[in-house]
Amino acid sequence: MTGTLSSARTVSFRDALREALHEEMEADESVILLGEDVGRYGGAYAVSRGLLERFGERRVIDTPMSEALIVGAALGAAMVGARPVAEIMYMDFVTLAMDNLVNQAAKVHYMFGGQFNAPLVVRVQQGTGRGAGSQHSQSLEGWFAHVPGLKVVAPSTPADAKGLLKAAIRDNDPVLFIEHKGLYPRKGAAAEVDHVVPLGVADVKRTGTDVTIVTWSNHVHIALEAAERLSADGVSVEVVDMRCLAPLDMTTVLDSAGSTRRVLVLHEACRTGGLGAEIAATVGEQLFGELAAPVRRLTAPDVVLPAHTELERTLIPDVEDVVLAVRDLLSS
């Protein structure tokens, strides 16, 4: 169940994740943290800073530079009673651990007839904004949402980050936990210790009557800013934050789409094979004949990302792009 938010305190996305790790490690000795530089360095984005000093080297483990080793060790530990949280420095690098994550962790419960669970979390950082190039900036959530047995989470706010990470650590299935690099400094309402957000439940971040924007992660904030701009012209936009990409909460999406009758699916990943296509197809199938216009997608194009912030910025949908897309959708 969801706990409470604090009206008197704000925290950054980064600090909310650290609070979740600290609280879950305090509450359950089986929770361990492992990955490159998670201990002495405090994590590539400082999420695990201070945890080594509090919990020691047996529970905060600096690993060799091998993603396959990190996920493989996490899976082995999970199968014998631990609840590991493994950090992969960039989502792009999880490709080096695909077999352990996709062929092993996601399938172990089924392959062993329920004799084993794989309660592990793999934290990854993804997304653009730093001009870090094609091997450090990709949004690959669509790959992993396609894999049965694997849960995929992509929060947008500090409170959701904390509540979803706590739920992911407690879950008995493997969870890929996606943190957009641009969100780490973003501040929001702090969540108390009892705040847990159930996996697989979307959240309506803004209610509206004219158009539904379905999105997740960093683009929730872009959608909200666009909605605010459009409101000045009398356009009422509802923003649905998926939060969890596997399983998808299509009930919330369909409820919103059925009400507004116009839907824009927005994401940073490439267009072809992106998760937006699955959402658009489901809305089209379930609400055929009820929509006022075809479902639209606004995404990055199918190109290799450049190592240049200005070039990168031209490829990723921004507030102006969203405003134009909504206006076009309303005119169709």
State pLDDT tens for residues 70-112. Answer: 999 999 999 999 999 999 999 999 999 999 999 999 999 999 9
pTM above threshold 0.85: yes
The domain boundary, picked from 147, 166, 191, lies at 191
Identify whether 299 is part of a domain.
yes
244: helix, strand or coil? strand
Counting residues of the chain whose pLDDT is more than 90, the rounded percentage is 95
pLDDT at residue 278 is higher than 70: yes
Same domain? 92 vs 171: yes
Q: Which domain holds residue 50?
A: 9-191
Identify whether 1 is part of a domain.
no
pLDDT at residue 270 is higher than 70: yes
Q: How many CB atoms lie within 10 A of CB 27?
A: 12
Task: Report, as an integer, the average pLDDT of 211-229.
Answer: 98
The domain boundary, picked from 191, 218, 244, lies at 191
Task: Report, as an integer, the average pLDDT of 320-328.
Answer: 98
The one catalytic residue among 109, 136, 195, 221 = 136
Contact 83, 30 (CB under 8 A): yes
94: helix, strand or coil? helix
Same domain? 42 vs 150: yes
The domain boundary, picked from 191, 224, 247, lies at 191
Task: Report, as an integer, the average pLDDT of 306-329.
Answer: 96
pLDDT at residue 3 is higher than 70: no
Task: Report, as an integer, the average pLDDT of 128-153.
Answer: 95
Task: Report, as an integer, the average pLDDT of 252-261.
Answer: 98
Q: What is the DSSP string of 160-202?
A: HHHHHHHHHHH-SS-EEEEEEGGGTT-EEEEE-TT--PPTT--
Same domain? 85 vs 212: no
Active-site residue flag, 146: no
Of residues 139, 118, 117, the one with CA closest to residue 128: 139
Same domain? 223 vs 179: no
- The long-range contacts involving 36-40, CB below 8 angstroms and separated by at least 24 positions, are 36/62, 36/63, 36/64, 36/65, 36/70, 36/87, 36/89, 37/62, 37/89, 38/62, 38/63, 38/87
Task: Report, as an integer, the average pLDDT of 308-321.
Answer: 95
Task: Report, as an integer, the average pLDDT of 173-187.
Answer: 97
The mean pLDDT of the chain is 96
Residue 208: predicted pLDDT: 98
* Total count of domains within the chain: 2
Identify whether 2 is part of a domain.
no
Reported as a pLDDT band with limits 50, 70 and 90, residue 9 is confident
Task: Report, as an integer, the average pLDDT of 203-209.
Answer: 98
Counting residues of the chain whose pLDDT is more than 70, the rounded percentage is 98
Q: How many residues does the chain have?
A: 332
pLDDT at residue 2 is higher than 70: no
Task: Report, as an integer, the average pLDDT of 14-18.
Answer: 98
Same domain? 234 vs 284: yes
pLDDT at residue 6 is higher than 70: no
Residue 5: predicted pLDDT: 72
Same domain? 156 vs 277: no
Residue 1: predicted pLDDT: 44
pLDDT at residue 7 is higher than 60: no
